[in-house]
Structure 1
Amino acid sequence: MKRLILLWSMGFVFSAQARTIKKLDTIYANSTMTTALFFPSEIKQGITGSDNFIFTYNREKEQNLGLLKAINGIDSNLLVITTDGKVYSYILKYSEHIEDPNRFITGNESIGHIKQIQEKERVSNSTISITDNKDILRKSCKSFLKLPEELNIKKKTGNLKLSLKNMKYQGDNVFLLFEIENKSPIRFDYGFLRIFKINGNQKRNASYQEVQLNPIYVDNKPIQIVPNTKTKMVYVVPKFHLDKSEKLEVRLQELNTTRNVVLRWK
């Protein structure tokens, strides 16, 4: 429901056609095969309801190809909006065996279409401006900070401690709540915090790989952390998934010194 509200806030509403109840088809996916979905028009937006299903498409250059993978878990759904305004919705299920990993979707599978809200109620050019987008992310971060903390993954190096307190998937983004604690008698001057997906061991494995997850928004980034205090900050990064062999690595570095903390998870 929250994701539909987000779509409305971006200046879209469903037309009367979308109100017609239509039985949804099921698409199967797993972790060993990539299910390719070919839509009749280029994909504008695609959202899955659960993070055990990953739907990827080209966000830089609009294409009609979407790729679906999954890990074993609960059933979910997929909502796709194409550039011609058509809306497609499917039930997603995990299956160990997939007979045909390719599906060519026809226009008559659409459950409806969207139209722009007119005049004063619409957002110009049916997109959200950079300023408005940041405002939405800022408000989302403030709400995220109020949620109960579900994680306490921590790493202490010397008198510095870095903790991952919460992680939530929302649409195409992941919100991560970090806490930095300075128990030293010396002020900590914040340099940077970087997040990576890593595969393998850098010292032992020649196939070691790392991919940096660049933030699209950072809320409450500190400048300094005075002695015996702690602060929280929220990082918003594009949606990602960790395979069994992958780990999340967070590197906190002080400005102009060698003080740092490296936290690894999974």
Structure 2
Amino acid sequence: MKFFNSANYREIISSEILRNSQVKSYKKKMSEAGGFHAAYLSQVLTNSANITADQASLLCEFWDYDERMSEFFITLVSLEKATTASLRKRLEMRIASLRAIASPAEIAVKLESSLAFERAQLLFSSSDYYAVLAALSIPHVQSEIELSNFLRIHIENLRIILTQLHEMQLTKKKADYWEVASENNATVAHNKSLTHDLVSSLHAKFCQAYINTYHSMCDAAVIPVTAEQYNALKAEMRALMEKYHGALERNGEFVAGINVSLFRF
């Protein structure tokens, strides 16, 4: 299921349950996170009950959705409970708008739900895959030689990466140059084990860059915060990432690696 193509919020809940089917007592954990009982969840999934917008927001935090995904899910929930034609129209327009935003291929790699898990593991195993996709959005950096020189990836290794990305339908080749497959309309996969692999790869790349160049930035802090401050900080960090992610498309000069971490002790 492609997230932004979901017809209603129940499809998203069902998809999350299916995706986490190997997690012990997942329905119970999800229900507790959403502030309702597992028995009530069964009623929701059979169209016998609805969750509230507050509960929807709690689920978005549990699933670690970004702002756009959260708004889409919460709006779908609100649509189910709308009682006037005026409100339904407004909510349907907002849903259509969010779907339109999500449709074009974006620089950041999006993991299509139909990809085999083995290929997903490969994609997240090295930041080089992401770097190639990001570089392909920059004009005049689309041939194999240009990409190899630009990213300082050996030409043979680059060809392997391009071939693998092509097999995942994330890139396509035209004559002697490559480009991101614009028809790819996948959603970001939230899988902590896969994300951990990518973070590890980015950190290794950062250490190399930090030692060898003066362009890199490193900052860290351990601070006392309230729960409200923590959630606000997380939202601000995500908003900043999304802001620049969309704004820099096809206007970049080089590829930057960003690794933002926030956690509770």
**TM-score, normalized by the shorter chain, greater than 0.5:** no
Give the structure, 1 or 2, with the largest relative contact order (CA under 8 Å, sep 6 or more). Answer: 2
Query: Greater helix share, 1 or 2?
Result: 2
User: TM range, normalised to the smaller chain?
Assistant: under 0.3
TM-score by length of 1: 0.26
TM-score by length of 2: 0.27
Query: Greater strand share, 1 or 2?
Result: 1
